[in-house]
Structure 1
Amino acid sequence: MTQSLSIVFAGTPDFAAFHLSAVLASQHTVSAVYTQPDRPAGRGKKLHASAVKQVALAHELPVHQPLNFKSQEDRDALAALKPDVLVVVAYGLILPQAVLDIPKYGCLNVHASILPRWRGAAPIQRAVEAGDALSGVTIMQMERGLDTGPMLNKVFCDITEQETGGSLHDKLQALGAPALIDTLDQLSDGQLAPETQDDSQANYAHKIEKDDLNINWQQPAEVVARTIRAFSPFPVCFSQLGDKRIKLYQATMVEAATPGNAGEILSFDKTGVMVACGVGAVKLHNLQIPGKKPMTADQLLNGYKELFAPGQVFRQA
């Protein structure tokens, strides 16, 4: 019979909060939660608690928010909890070896890719951007290297032709939570069989920078469409149209009846704004004008037909 493990959970965003909720609903016990310090957010820049902190407080769990684990005091506080396992999901801090050594069974990480592909900060978005056909979640034993530890469990899903970073996030979230519980159960029963990663197959999912979001229309339509989908609905790609910076939420590669210069609007109707690329064309379906909410092409036709008139040219901001 599977025994309950004493778990300390470390995570920050919605993806992590979903996994925390799953652990709380399992037979295992969460004794405390670690999350990033509250950050300013919104127009008023008021301090905002992370999604993980909100779940923890709703369950009346102790919450710890160290800036890092450099101080002995913070490491001693974790050790005092005597965890069997530290479960780490999108925490946002690099844990030193002194922390990794504290839990009885070490630290488990839920990583949103099929390792060793897409180690690093943005595996979901980079998989869509690269045109991968397959993604998934890997539960691994943490060690000093970045996402290099032995793999304990892997679950898979397809990446569709219309996948966005947001839709893949939701798929992997739904896959990862039960995989985590299954891994904890196997750990409790002593049934885990760690698999060493093949470092020769590894690549790195770089942190998303502003330049990644600034669309280069000289690229092929396939690349432009994937890039827009990869970073939707957050942090969102953009492009300059006249004096306005337009945010781009959804795009598909299409056949253009007539060629145009890269960035040139070829047509605009209720199905989308067709824009020429270095090779081929894309159709933009969801866009956001400064000061407005995101709108479909059908909605934009009502008041912004001239802004997106054929012949206008998108350019890098």
Structure 2
Amino acid sequence: MTDTPKILSPQAKGILAAIGACSIWGLSPIFYKQVAHVPAIEVLAHRTVWSLVFFGGILALQGRLGQVRAAMNTGPKLGWLALASLMIGTNWFLFIWAVGAGRTTESSLGYYILPLVAVVIGRVVFGEALKRSQWIAVALAAGAVVLLTVGLQAPPWIALTLAVSFGIYALIKKRLEVGPVVSVTAEVMLMLPIALFVLLQSEHRGGSAFHAGAWTMGVLLISGPVTALPLILFSYAARRVRMTSLGLVQYLNPTLQFSCAVFVFSEPFTGWHMIAFGLIWLALAIYAASMFAQDRAARRAAVAAAVSGTGVT
């Protein structure tokens, strides 16, 4: 008698997909370090072109290219897509530049504080109420930024710009009723003219990455799949995993980035960094506990409503 193989539940598959996505994002500094000798703007241009090729190929196979045209033919949506394109382009460029400049530690800080920036955006834009514990978490994160500013005698502008640009990007995506693959395809399509201009200028000057060797060109070519795969995995996970679980898994991304910076790239990690990161980690622990409490309360309320609806006392 043979055992019947167990099939993973949708929730388990979603968690694995989220871990896969965040692992690719978190280890991506190692990938982009391979092209640190290429100007960041040119790496971004290649990432844009090859992402468009990859996403366009997926949508073409699915027969969904018409959805991209439909999204871009609608005036209000096109405006939001253009703003989203600006935000994600800024975010990608700064991340690529930070890795090449040996400032991956600060980029990881940006993705650590991103959830707390999203909380502030939710409060300001949507008027979402914050619990006392969430305010404490935001205050601790703000204190960490102030400490780094004082200690390093310069604000952590890379971290702040990465967090704010992606926070605004997430806000726009929340307003757009467009699927993630379709919207990103439209966003990189809007970036394409600038990307082609950059590549043509680099070629004209004779310093294009097209002549930098097979390894460099190979890394740039697969930047499309490296961009697309985690997005597809994360979109799959988002439909199957509770938001609290998804939010916790997302911390894997900056943790791996931080590990790459300190243990692989040997970037400086001063006492000021230690204190600031400690405050951020404490803030995230408080925030995560608050989210778990909210999730449990919502599930209890749903169970109570279901019981009440059946007339059981």
What's the TM-score once normalised by structure 1's chain length?
Answer: 0.25
Greater RCO, CA 8 A, separation 6+:
2
* Structure showing the higher helix proportion among its residues: 2
